[in-house]
């Protein structure tokens, strides 16, 4: 990491430092697991003094929670902007499901989720935080489905439940936490297209 000049760090420097710490923590947690990882090792990997690390995170547990939440919110970043109601339903769902699939099957995301499950008993508040973050991840999708419902294009009771169903199946309904997903493009395409067919048949309004 580049040594900054003396004085109060700029906002950009602060954000760069936080990113370096979280990137390093992710790498160390994945390589060593939560139990074997140490704050000293994470500080070395981030290129910062141990005292600097403790100024940002009081404990390894707090840092782990931040890494886990960051991984989940990364799925939201991959989702980006959800299509508007004028895009054909199949095309919009194909784009949405593809982006969610790529986010939920990313190797780093899966590695973090496996650690979260393994350490769930140690972090009773982490599950609630992850659920709260999942609502943030799905918020644009909920809004999109609400627009479709308001426009009379789909027949569904709850846009929120529908968004949860799309996200759950796009992520492999949890199976990818246990099994490494096939990274072959044909496998990805089959999974995405099967979900597009499922949801359009279930929700599209017929005349």
Span 24-40, pLDDT tens digits: 999 999 888 888 999 99
Decide if pLDDT at 77 tops 50. Answer: yes
Decide if pLDDT at 182 tops 80. Answer: no
**In a domain? residue 130:** yes
Residues in the chain, total: 207
Contact 102, 181 (CB under 8 A): no
Same domain, 70 and 150: yes
Same domain, 180 and 139: yes
Same domain, 28 and 72: no
Same domain, 100 and 162: yes
**In a domain? residue 159:** yes
Same domain, 79 and 46: no
Same domain, 126 and 183: yes
Q: Where in the sequence is the domain holding 22, given as residue range(s)?
A: 9-58
The residue among 149, 143, 195 whose CA lies nearest residue 170 is: 195
**In a domain? residue 1:** no
Q: Which residues of 126-137 are buried (b: 16+ CB within 10 A; e: fewer)?
A: beeebeebbeeb
What is the per-residue pLDDT across 110-153, written as a single tens digit (0 to 9) for each? 888 888 888 777 777 777 777 777 777 788 889 889 989 998 88
pTM here is 0.79
As for how many domains the chain has, the answer is: 2
The structure tokens listed for 35 are: 């139990």
Contact 120, 127 (CB under 8 A): yes
Same domain, 29 and 115: no
CA distance 192 to 121: 34
Residue 45 has a CB neighbour count (10 Å cut-off) of 18
Same domain, 114 and 34: no
Same domain, 53 and 99: no
pLDDT tier at 7 (50, 70, 90 boundaries)? low
Question: What distances in angstroms separate CA 195 from CA 91, 110, 135, 150, 200, one per listed residue?
Answer: 12, 21, 21, 23, 8
């Amino acid at each position: 990491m580049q040594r900054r000049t003396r004085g109060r760090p700029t906002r950009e420097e602060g954000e760069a430092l936080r990113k370096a710490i979280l990137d390093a923590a992710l790498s160390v947690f994945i390589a060593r697991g939560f139990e074997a990882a140490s704050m000293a090792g994470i500080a070395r990997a981030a290129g910062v003094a141990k005292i600097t690390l403790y100024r940002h995170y009081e404990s390894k547990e707090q840092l782990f929670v931040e890494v886990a939440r960051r991984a989940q919110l990364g799925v939201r970043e991959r989702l980006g902007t959800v299509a508007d109601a004028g895009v054909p339903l199949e095309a919009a769902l194909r784009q949405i499901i593809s982006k969610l699939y790529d986010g939920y099957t990313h190797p780093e995301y899966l590695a973090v989720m496996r650690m979260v499950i393994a350490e769930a008993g140690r972090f009773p508040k982490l599950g609630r935080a992850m659920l709260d973050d999942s609502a943030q991840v799905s918020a644009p999708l909920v809004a999109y489905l609400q627009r479709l419902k308001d426009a009379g294009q789909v027949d569904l009771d709850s846009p929120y439940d529908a968004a949860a169903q799309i996200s759950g199946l796009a992520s492999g309904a949890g199976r990818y936490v246990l099994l490494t997903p096939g990274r072959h493009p044909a496998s990805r395409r089959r999974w995405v297209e099967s979900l597009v067919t499922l949801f359009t048949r279930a929700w599209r309004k017929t005349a």
